[in-house]
Structure 1
Amino acid sequence: MTERPIDLSNYPSSQAAKRPVLSLRKFALMASVAAGLGAAVYGFGPSHGPIDVFTSTAHAQVHNEVRKVAQPVGFADIVERVKPSVISVKVAMGDKTAKDDSADKDDAPFQPGSPMERFFRRFGGPDGLPPGFRGGPRGGRGPATGQGSGFFISSDGYAVTNNHVVDGADKVEVTTDDGKTYSAKVIGTDPRTDLALIKVSGRTDFPFAKLSDGKPRIGDWVLAVGNPFGLGGTVTAGIVSASGRDIGNGPYDDFIQIDAPVNKGNSGGPAFDVSGEVMGVNTAIYSPSGGNVGIAFSIPASTVKSVVAQLKDKGTVSRGWIGVQIQPVTDDIADSLGMKKAEGALVAEPQANGPAAKAGIQSGDVITGVNGAPVKDAKELARTIGGMAPGNAVKLNVLHKGQEKVINLTLGQLPNTLEAKAAFDKDSGKSSRGADVPKLGMTVAPANSVAGAGKEGVVVTEVDPKSAAAERGFKEGDVILEVGGKSVASADDVREAISAARSDNKNSVLMRIKSGGSSRFVAVPLAKG
């Protein structure tokens, strides 16, 4: 379509020469934008001077309306409201002068072999330390310091941070958003959830944050505020990437995964929702390099509430306990037990004199429900029982040798110390090669013939790396206690149990093994023929 110039005959000729020529198309477009925004449109009429349409009243109104619509939503109002509640936490571990110069020691904040130590060795930086931790030189010489984040949960100075930030600290200091520094006291810690409660005294007007009552949805906005690399008061934004994450830290793993940039020093800081409430406490990052890669993990507010309430009340956390080692029910295990679905928690071993053992629960039983509510898997059972108070009476739905039954028991208190693990003398194990177990790819010997292996079961003395046993995780030193529900004490017992399973047309046989002081069931596929 040919564009026609606007008729300027009504304008004085001296002004017409100065006036820009607007096509009808451009003018119509401008008019339609103005009309669409509800703006008044003024006509062009005779004038004694040049009209600048870009500063006219009509265009100014249009410009203001467009600016309101086009401007992206920001978080400044939320940040202004919540940022004062966030604190930087600095700790001193005291004089860590080592008694010797052994090069294989360091100032890592976790006990060797502990769940948190294993997690950070796997997901932390090259030194395996958690975000925000800075240890002294190798060999332990000199003081060790750490830094992290936290936030007030009450006006009288109670604040939440991570256990690994303050664990073992001789001195804790917090710096508020206005730059003031205060001494803090550790009220209580909970290593199992990596939470700690600290207290700052001297004021009753601290700005504080509220823990959310709701559960975040995947895709919700999230704001992380904290002290990355010592740069206090840093705000980053992202979304909730996933929920219910299990990162291998322990049976109570139920992390929120977020993609808001979180780095070393953010540990213990809050993750806010768009209502300005704390949806979680940032505790760990997945980072091959030690820096942000967009995967961070937060402890849900619901967990924080429960733990903090107990820490404030008595300084420790008490959890319900039934006294069993449990594991997931895999498809192979479900097939071996004749279950239609792979669900519930398989009891690998009840602890002697524990509530479950006293109530009659046995190895091989599957716990499928608690107080009538179904149990999806072993993690859910651990969280459900752990969320109950010791002394509570519960009803467990149990599948025992194919029969469903209900067992009543009273919860004990989860012990705070781990049992010592028996060690296997590999040299002794290798001295007795054992007897072959056909088509499984391993050799076994009676446990009572191998030093350190105990008196029950048979010890795995050799595993073919290309065998079915190796694929299922068997290794030298494992002790096989049961095969197909029958106790075994020799290679012949193992062979007979496998033959019986084949005779029953089973695709796999369930074995109960002891490894590193704990028991578990393994479904091993049976070769045909």
Structure 2
Amino acid sequence: MSLRNPLLSITAAFVLLAQAAVAHAALPDFTSLVEQASPAVVNISTKQNRPTQGAGAQMPDLHGLPPGFREFFERGIPGAPGRGQQRPAQSLGSGFIISDDGYVLTNHHVIADADEIVVRLPDRSEMQATLVGADPRTDVALLKVDGKALPTVQLGDSNRLRAGEWVVAIGSPFGFDHTVTAGIVSATGRNLPSDGYVPFIQTDVAINPGNSGGPLFNLDGQVIGINSQIYTRSGGFMGVSFAIPISVAMNVADQLRETGRVSRGWLGVVIQDVNRDLAESFGLERPAGALIAQVVAGGPAEKGGLRVGDVILSVNGQAVVMSGDLPYLVGSSKPGTKVRLEVVRDGKRHNLDVAIGAMPDGDPLAAADAPNGAALSSKRLGVTVGELSAEQKQALGLRGGVMVREVGQGPAAAIGLRQGDVITHLNNQVVDSAKSFVQAAEGLPRDRSVSMRVLREGRASFITFRLPN
């Protein structure tokens, strides 16, 4: 026994050493990548000469305080005596040079409202930058500095990126220039509620304030994204970061360079996700697609024959799995081109060819004023509704619909209806009067998902509920 244990120990040690060697060999070495890419990564600072808040603002009575205390309080009060009418403000971010003649990519939010933009290179030299253009919808901005033979990054193909790949970020978190962090791609094609036109790359790379606008590299040293956002409950990094795919960013940059603005496709619909209950209500086999909750009057969708209640399943053969997939697919289409949409209507599939429009600058949706007209109550749902005036219908772009006047106890309260909501459809039936609403409510089936289309503050969505047996 005494002879076997040392042999077993030696064997085990060799196995552990072999496993450690294999694990070490599997880990990437980022040193060469960082050395090659870092010269083209820049720090960006901005200054805004912001007016102080109203010199005529009411000031507190500081008389009688000791001089030191009074001076202290005055320094903290906007518009206090002795303070200038403007104060400089600085923000720190990152960026990267994409051409040797000085074009620089960063985030829009890094340079928003800037009066002065300064780009600092790794050798500590600084250059004044001019804003070529910015696109708030994708959070991309293109800058220009005067230079020749500047170091540049290599651009990769973000469309080939896969979850699980190693990626590296270089930026200036908290002002620490050229900080390197690494991780993996957690997911691709992420849709965020506030950014419908960007299929984000999600990573677990440490991103903090100051990283915004900096590059995200693959292992070949190619930029495949611009670090843009984090998800956090603490204000700091929590393991979930989002980057703008470089394919999206360069499409925007090319347009900004050529015209100074971005033109993107527009369908003219308000959409929502299809959950299990809505899928059942609309006769779908599974929850998928983008449900049209509202169609803008006179927009491309209306002209192309789309209707409220249609569910868009694909655009030119590309599947719309979540509703967030649709804005990017439509937005990346050039205005004036035709796309083929596969839709489900009344439980049947149809193909529609729709000409994409140009996205307007303003919001074409409008809200309605307070209700007028006769009212009827549905005891079954616990809600009182009234007729819409002609002016309200015109403002909302409706031909029918009813306004919620009062919500009592019952299903209406349980699903969150409020006074002022407008109901246009109930159980896939058009509601064109208070009478038709009450009749539709009386005929609702029990213990089955029922859909209701509701406009609130001019925005439409479908909600579902079940009436118990």
- TM-score greater than 0.5 by the shorter chain: yes
| Cα separation, 1, equivalents of 2:23 and 2:367 | 69
Gap change, CA 1:268 and 1:102, over 3 Å in 2: farther
Amino acid paired to 1:515: R
Q: Is the 8 A contact 2:380 2:441 kept in 1?
A: no
SS of the residue corresponding to residue 142 of structure 1 reads: strand
Which of 401, 410, 427 does residue 457 from structure 1 map onto? 401
Q: Report the CA distance shift for 1:417/1:138 in structure 2 as closer, same or farther (over 3 A).
A: farther
The match for 2:292 among 347, 354, 375 is 347
1:83 aligned residue:
38
Unpaired segments of 5 or more residues in structure 1? 4-23, 38-65, 104-135
Contact 1:450 1:459 in 2 (8 A): no
The aligned amino acid for 2:466 is P
User: In 2, Cα distance between the equivalents of 1:227 and 1:415?
Assistant: 36
Cα distance in structure 1, aligned partners of 2:57 and 2:368: 24
Q: Give TM-score, length-normalised by structure 2.
A: 0.82
Shift of 1:143: 2.8
Return the alpha-carbon distance in structure 1 between the equivalents of residues 162 and 26 of structure 2.
25
Cα distance, 1:177–1:509 mapped onto 2, change above 3 Å: same
Q: Percent identity?
A: 38
Aligned residues of 1:459 and 1:479 also touching (Cα < 8 A): yes
State the secondary structure of the residue aligned to 2:123. Answer: coil
2:456 — aligned with what? 515
1:80 is displaced (CA, Å) by 1.0
* Structure 1 residues 74 and 371: alpha-carbon distance in aligned structure 2, compared to 1, 3 A threshold: closer
1:483 aligns with 2:426: yes
Matched-pair contact (CA < 8 Å) for 2:384–2:407:
yes
Change (3 A) 1:474 1:224: farther
Residue type matched to 1:517 in 2? G
SS in 1 for 2:303: helix
CA distance change for structure 1 residues 350 and 152 in 2, over 3 Å: closer, same or farther?
A: same
Question: Which among 42, 48, 51 is matched to residue 93 of structure 1?
Answer: 48
1:16-55 counterparts in 2 under 5 A? none
> What is the one-letter code of the residue matched to 1:207?
T
Tell me the SS of whatever aligns to 2:195.
coil
Amino acid at match of 1:484: N
Q: Which amino acid aligns with 2:29?
A: G
- 1:524 and 2:456 correspond: no
What is the CA-CA distance between 1:281 and the residue it aligns to? 1.0
Which of 433, 437, 442 does residue 499 from structure 1 map onto?
442
Give 3-state SS (helix, strand or coil) of 1:278's partner: strand
Counterpart of 1:207 (choices 152, 157, 161) is 152
1:395 aligns with 2:340: yes
Q: Is the 8 A contact 2:49 2:86 kept in 1?
A: no
Please state whether the residue corresponding to 1:480 is helix, strand or coil: strand
Distance 1:407 1:161 in 2: 38
Cα RMSD (Å) of the superposition?
Answer: 3.6
- Alpha carbons 2:100, 2:147 under 8 Å: kept: no
Structure 2 residue runs of 5 or longer lacking an equivalent are 59-75, 80-84
Q: Deviations over 1:230-275 (max 9, x none)?
A: 1111111222223332331132242222222111111111111211
Q: Find the aligned partners of 1:69 and 1:77 in 2 and give their Cα distance.
A: 17
- Select the structure that is richer in strand: 2
Which residue of 244, 249, 257 maps to 1:312? Answer: 257
**Contact conserved, 1:197 with 1:308, CA < 8 A, in 2?**
yes
SS in 2 for 1:378: coil
The residue that corresponds to 1:303 in the other structure is 248
Q: What amino acid does structure 1 have at the position aligned with 2:271?
A: I
Q: Decide which moves more: 377-386 or 490-499.
A: 490-499
The structure 2 residue matched to 1:148, chosen from 83, 93, 99, is 93
Q: Is contact 1:437–1:491 with CA below 8 Å preserved after alignment?
A: no
| Shift in alpha-carbon separation, 1:360–1:102, aligned structure 2, 3 A | farther
The farther-off stretch of 452-461 and 513-522 is 452-461
Q: State the Cα distance separating 1:206 from its structure 2 match.
A: 2.6
Q: How many residues align?
A: 439
Shift of 1:148: 0.8
From the superposition, tell whether residues 406 and 173 of structure 1 become closer, same or farther in structure 2 (CA, over 3 Å): same
Superposition map of 1:25-424 within 5 A: 73-99=28-54, 142-419=87-364, 421-422=366-367
Compared with structure 1, are the counterparts of its residues 374 and 231 closer, same or farther at alpha carbon in structure 2 (3 Å cutoff)?
closer
Compute the displacement of 1:142 (Å): 2.4
